[in-house]
Structure 1
Amino acid sequence: PDQLPEKLRDALETAMEQGRGASVLTRGKEPVALFTFIHDDVRPGVGKLIDDLFNSQVSIEVISGDHQRSVETFSQSLGLDKRSVHGDMKPEDKVKWVMGRSKTHITMMVGDGFNDAAAMAAADVGVAVGSGESTNLDAADILITGENPSVLSDLVKLSRRTRFVLFQNLAFSVLVTAVLVWSVLSGFNDNIVIGVLVHELSVIVVIFNGARLAGDLGLWNLLTGLFKNLYVDTIASFKQLFQNLFLTKESSTP
């Protein structure tokens, strides 16, 4: 700003105070015009996304390369506190910020541009939104190609449900194993057939419990696929059994 003519510098300061973006047109190295614009490129549904994340106890921070005052004004229009807004950040600054936050928090970096790629790679979870750039694809763990931002809150909810189901399955598996070991050591049950049957049934319970994460359709697909495979394997086993019996009879015929 100090290199701009006084008239353009005053216009730039006014634009920044109003939270507007600004671009300088130069001829060679000489600034000749200043263009200001309003940050109004908010994706539909962002307000609901922010509410959902807050309700899920997720802290939201904005890191941007735009001017601090512009980013503050834009973020406050979305209901974000200016203390959670960080402007004037270069790509390397974003990386340092994410790495510092990752020391004490689980971080998810969401970006839609080339300048966000390094920060996405540094975060615990990197999410690229609406971009098929190879750099973003390499840096991100997840790619959201649609225009619906609520996918992010669904992603957070699914990850928490997955963790809960994982703990359920681990606890159930350990409990079943402990009961089986106790039953053998105490002499309550030493029948290996019953032990194997209980163990296999517990595995099926774990599989079905995990399939709930895919919804009713996922559970239905699992059941139909399971019974289909059982049917195919059973038919194949009986065919092999009959073939072996037939060959045995032929070989024993004088």
Structure 2
Amino acid sequence: MTDTAAVGRARRRARWPWVVLVVVTLLAVFVVAAEVIARAVVPATVRGLVIDALDLPADQQLDVETQGVLLPQLLGGTLDELRLSSDQVTIGGVTGAAQVTATQVPLRGGSLAGAEGTVIIDQSQFAGLLERVELPITEITLDEPDVTVHGGISVLGAEIPLALTMTPGADDGDLMLTPIAVEVAGAEVDLQRLAGMFGDIGAALAGPQRVCIADQLPTGITLTGLRIDGTSVVAEISADGRIAVDEALLEPGVCP
């Protein structure tokens, strides 16, 4: 073996770690670049799909966030978690700030594992929902955790002021208002006395008030909770995972 050949092999052995280092570095740069591109493209694509599906304005403010490292999720065809939020969005007849988290979102079509979120509405929006209640409402006051409706009952031609305090909630997709206290002409009265004072109207006021809001939401979205938070109303919602593939679930629901 010549000295020249030995020197050549020694040089190649010396260069080999540097070649590996360069290849690894290039691969790392490629992965980082691909991840950056994925994080830019995926949210924009999802935003467009959601806006089209819900028939929202093209300039609708809608933020989309993904979780975790995207490349493995993209290669696997499923996003682990997707978060959508908007400071103001109108869905059906309800306008508010919305935040929804969807899990196991398939990229090649299919149902979601599930989606849950909240919609925060103000007092005026909440008052609009209560227009369907059989209550003599002229004013609404939010006082966490309850809501008080003010109105009056006509008795023998005289209007008697009434303030009914109720705790909001949800039951089987409906908005529920459970009376806890009442004032008649400024004086606190036991709820059970309302029937004796005002007959059927009083009995109705003393019982839970159920409000159907299904026609204000897509069929695939259900109200699961409702609470007062300061001066806002927080509605908790849940979405049927099939809403991603069944257009019928995007249509407004129906109230009986």
TM-score normalised by L of structure 1: 0.30
Q: Which has the higher strand share?
A: 2
TM-score normalised by L of structure 2: 0.30
Q: Which has the higher helix share?
A: 1
